[in-house]
């Protein structure tokens, strides 16, 4: 009996110790759980801080890129103004813009660029009149008419046109277009005793070359604009009884007008800024911008004379570049105004951005 009493006493003591040990273990578990929660909170705070840091860094990069673009344009503008103003102060703005004689190397130099400015304006306008309809109609064919195989073939040719260097266009114009223009010139002025024959290097040749060169830009952007027109526009037109062609010209093209105007803006920039191809096919003589006269564009005036110019002559070439720069800016502003006006008249719906 004594032994039983001792055993029961020992079991009760061991049970109490076991309970205390269990309580201590549960306390340690709660403490560990609390530490884990605090650690996970710190982890979330660290992740949130890292995300904010990445976002701030990305915003700083975007802002720097935007400011660099603005800075480049500002530097170009400042450089052109600083390079072109000395000749304006020395020769006079009126003599430069309104005089027609360009003889920078004569004993009595003349620096009139009126014919050169008019040639750039007329040549660009005629190139757009030829290239824009062809480009837009080709875009309509690719987006609305052609099957997949035909569209793929034509698009490959357009991409090839975009990749051809401008000097190749000039050589093709020199050996293909100029002879044809010369034959046409000989027939048109066969009985003339005063016409100065150009050998085909005239304004018409330059216009045709520029019209071909702007085609890839006009086609690609116009096609994207046409494809961006919602299908509901086509469905509504067809539901009202319009034919496929009527839908294209009465509904789709008006809805794609903002994108087509954008194509015109970029096409103008491509035509105005071209120098090498135009130099090879235009004759590079300062004359009134008539179809069968050798002419000189603003870009070709700079390219053809910069190598040997000096003094006031070189400063005048920078002035010609400044005039070209202003001309492109005014052209883009005018076309952008037309674009905004067209969008506002169309109810403010811009289907292409």
Do residues 34 and 172 both lie within one domain? no
What pLDDT is recorded for position 350?
Answer: 43
Phi and psi for 63 in degrees, rounded to 5?
Answer: -65, -40
Do residues 97 and 78 both lie within one domain? no
Collapsing DSSP to helix, strand or coil, 326 comes out as helix
3-state secondary structure 149-161: HHHHHHHHHHHHH
Closest CA to 266 of 300, 221, 298: 221
Collapsing DSSP to helix, strand or coil, 228 comes out as coil
Do residues 167 and 311 both lie within one domain? yes
Query: 203, 123 in Cβ contact below 8 A?
Result: yes
Residue 133 within any structural domain of the chain:
yes
Do residues 156 and 304 both lie within one domain? yes
Strand partners, 283: 295
Q: Report which DSSP code applies to 295.
A: B
Do residues 65 and 118 both lie within one domain? no
Do residues 80 and 106 both lie within one domain? no
Residue 351 within any structural domain of the chain:
no
Residue 353 within any structural domain of the chain:
no
Residue 161 within any structural domain of the chain:
yes
What pLDDT is recorded for position 353?
Answer: 38
Do residues 286 and 223 both lie within one domain? yes
Low-confidence ranges of the chain (pLDDT < 70): 1-46, 48, 339, 341-353
Domain end point (choices 38, 71, 87): 87
Q: Residue 99: which domain range?
A: 92-345
Q: CB neighbours of 144 closer than 8 A, spacing ≥ 6?
A: 226, 244, 248, 252
Residue 65 within any structural domain of the chain:
yes
Do residues 200 and 326 both lie within one domain? yes
CA–CA separation, 140 and 224 (whole Å): 10
Do residues 101 and 61 both lie within one domain? no
Do residues 121 and 251 both lie within one domain? yes
DSSP annotation string for 45-93: HHHHHHHHHHHHHHHHHHHHHHHHHHHHHHHHHHHHHHHHHHHHHHH-H
Domain end point (choices 39, 62, 87): 87
Rg of the chain over CA atoms, in angstroms?
37
What pLDDT is recorded for position 41?
Answer: 54
Query: 106, 347 in Cβ contact below 8 A?
Result: no
What is the bridge-based pairing of β-strands 110-111 and 102-103? antiparallel
What pLDDT is recorded for position 347?
Answer: 47
Residue 8 within any structural domain of the chain:
yes
Look at the chain and report how many structural domains it folds into.
Answer: 2
Do residues 192 and 242 both lie within one domain? yes
Residue 38 within any structural domain of the chain:
yes
In b/e form, how buried is each residue of 4-38, taking b as 16+ CB within 10 angstroms?
eeeeeeeeeeeeeeeeeeeeeeeeeeeeeeeeeee
- Measured between its terminal Cα atoms, the distance across the chain in Å is 101
Do residues 291 and 151 both lie within one domain? yes
| CATH number assigned to the domain comprising residue 96 | 1.10.3720.10
Residue 352 within any structural domain of the chain:
no
**How many CB atoms are located within 10 Å of the residue 128 CB?**
20
Domain end point (choices 87, 109, 133): 87
């Amino acid at each position: 009996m004594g032994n039983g009493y001792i055993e029961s006493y020992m079991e009760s003591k061991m049970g109490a110790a076991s309970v205390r040990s269990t309580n201590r273990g549960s306390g340690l578990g709660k403490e560990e759980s609390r530490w884990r929660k605090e650690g996970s909170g710190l982890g979330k705070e660290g992740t949130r801080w890292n995300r904010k840091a990445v976002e701030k860094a990305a915003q700083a990069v975007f802002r720097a890129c935007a400011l660099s673009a603005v800075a480049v344009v500002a530097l170009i503008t400042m450089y052109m103004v600083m390079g072109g103003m000395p000749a304006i102060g020395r020769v006079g703005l009126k003599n430069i813009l309104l005089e027609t004689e360009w003889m920078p190397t004569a004993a009595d130099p003349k620096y009139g660029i009126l014919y050169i400015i008019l040639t750039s304006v007329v040549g660009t306008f005629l190139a757009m009149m030829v290239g824009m309809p062809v480009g837009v109609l080709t875009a309509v064919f690719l987006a609305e008419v052609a099957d997949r195989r035909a569209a793929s073939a034509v698009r490959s040719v357009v991409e090839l046109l975009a990749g051809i260097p401008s000097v190749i266009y000039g050589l093709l114009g020199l050996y293909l277009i100029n002879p044809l223009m010369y034959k046409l010139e000989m027939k048109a002025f066969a009985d003339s005793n005063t016409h100065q024959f150009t050998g085909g290097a005239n304004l018409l040749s330059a216009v045709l070359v520029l019209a071909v060169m702007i085609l890839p830009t006009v086609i690609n952007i116009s096609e994207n604009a046409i494809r961006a027109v919602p299908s509901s526009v086509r469905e509504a037109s067809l539901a009202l009884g319009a034919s496929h062609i009527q839908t294209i010209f009465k509904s789709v093209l008006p809805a794609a007008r903002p994108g087509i105007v954008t194509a015109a803006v970029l096409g103008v920039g491509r035509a105005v800024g071209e120098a090498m191809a135009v130099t090879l096919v235009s004759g590079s003589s300062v004359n009134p911008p008539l179809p069968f006269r050798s002419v000189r564009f603003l870009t070709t005036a700079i390219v053809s004379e910069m190598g040997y110019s000096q003094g006031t002559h070189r400063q005048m070439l920078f002035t010609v570049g400044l005039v070209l720069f202003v001309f492109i800016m005014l052209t883009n502003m005018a076309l952008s105004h037309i674009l905004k006006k067209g969008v506002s008249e169309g109810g403010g719906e811009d289907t292409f951005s």
